[in-house]
Amino acid sequence: MQHYDICLIGFGNVGKAFATLLDNKKQALAQQGLDFRITAIATGSHGNALNPEGIDPIRAIQAYQDNAIPALSSPKTNIESIKDFIRASKADFLVETSPVNYETGEPAITHIKAGLSSGMHAVSANKGPVVHAFRSLKMLAKENDKQFLFESAVMDGAPIFSVFREALPSLNVEGFEGILNSCTNLLLEKMEAGKSFEDAVAFAQSIGIAETDPSGDIDGWDAAVKVAALVTVMMDHPMTPQDVERKGIREITPDDIQKGLREGKRWKLVCSADKTNEGVAASVQPKLVASTSPLYAVNGTSSLVIFKTDILPGLGILESDPGPETTAYGLLADMLNILKVG
């Protein structure tokens, strides 16, 4: 049996879903000769826990609800610096699930650097480090004979990066088009059903799809950072969300929605990128989509991206109604792929 310790940074919806997934998959992984233990958990506002003997995932979730994460430490620890905490964990994997910072990618970049420099593989669901530090993190990983993977950063657990990295070698991505923000797709659909913009946002917040401050979705920042991540990695062209031509859905009115439906079209927040003579042109824009487009039928919180390559004219990847569980699976898949190819 191969034993691997995990330092988990962030214990929100995705972090808790990852802990639950590890518990659910424990026997299946054991049959493959793998034993994963969470030995460190760092949270944004509920404290940290460090236990070399392992932290029970279900107990950790309950402790988070009881605001008692530090009580899981053994022995008691009082390490204030997150970098020192990561180093002290002596884990084999750093799993980074902290909230995204669209402007700088911090503090997730610092977390990942600390993990790689301490001899850990790093897997992340965070888009910020991909768009703001992809090349430097990959170089740091190589220098330490480790890997940095991030399958969950764009479409939750759907394989995008790994498909091109492993199944489609030497295929050049020339561009892509898709729907990458599930929140705005749901909002536009609810407005089609007659809800006001405000009521649609309130509904999305009630089911946990929209944040208390939904501006990151509504104003196109989440979509833009995903576009930037795909361009940076898949098209080998460094790009930040600030480089993406961006417009959100705030100005779309119920009248706009109904007029589009009468014309047999639907409003979608369309993400796109294409190679040009000057580099890559990327945008996030609300557009009226005709029924002949594959984007027309993308409903609810589903996502779709269609890649244009030098050989395959149109390769699409669809993910239907993802949630924290699918994002958590992307993290686990990265870990298993690292052990397979590392």
pLDDT tens digits, one per residue of 212-241: 889 999 999 999 999 999 999 999 999 999
Residue 77 has pLDDT above 80, yes or no: no
Q: Tens of pLDDT along 104-126? A: 999 999 999 999 999 999 999 99
List C-alpha distances in Å: 192 to 205, 257, 327.
18, 6, 28
152 and 211 part of one domain = no
- CATH for 237: 3.30.360.10
Q: 61: domain range?
A: 2-157+324-341
Q: Tens of pLDDT along 48-75? A: 999 999 999 999 999 999 998 998 888 7
1 touches 305 (CB < 8 A): no
Q: Tens of pLDDT along 305-316? A: 999 999 988 899
151 and 9 part of one domain = yes
Does residue 187 form part of some domain? yes
Q: Could you give the percent of the chain with pLDDT greater than 70?
A: 99
334 and 308 part of one domain = no
- Paired tokens of 93: 């994997």
Does residue 85 form part of some domain? yes
153 and 101 part of one domain = yes
Q: Tens of pLDDT along 136-150? A: 999 999 999 999 999
182 and 296 part of one domain = yes
209 and 136 part of one domain = no
Type of residue at 321: D
Looking at residue 251, its pLDDT comes to: 94
Q: Is 226 a catalytic residue?
A: yes
Does residue 166 form part of some domain? no
- Please give the tally of structural domains in the chain: 2
Looking at residue 157, its pLDDT comes to: 81
Looking at residue 323, its pLDDT comes to: 85
> What b-and-e string marks burial along 213-229, b requiring 16 or more CB atoms within 10 Å of the CB?
ebebbbbbbbbbbbbbb
Residue 342 has pLDDT above 50, yes or no: no
110 and 208 part of one domain = no
* Of residues 80 and 311, more confidently modeled: 311
281 and 314 part of one domain = yes
- CATH for 35: 3.40.50.720
* Cα(284)–Cα(249) distance, integer angstroms: 10
Which one is catalytic: 16, 226, 268, 287? 226
49 and 27 part of one domain = yes
- Paired tokens of 335: 């870990």
72 and 26 part of one domain = yes
Does residue 164 form part of some domain? no
Residue 242 has pLDDT above 90, yes or no: yes
Does residue 167 form part of some domain? no
81 and 151 part of one domain = yes
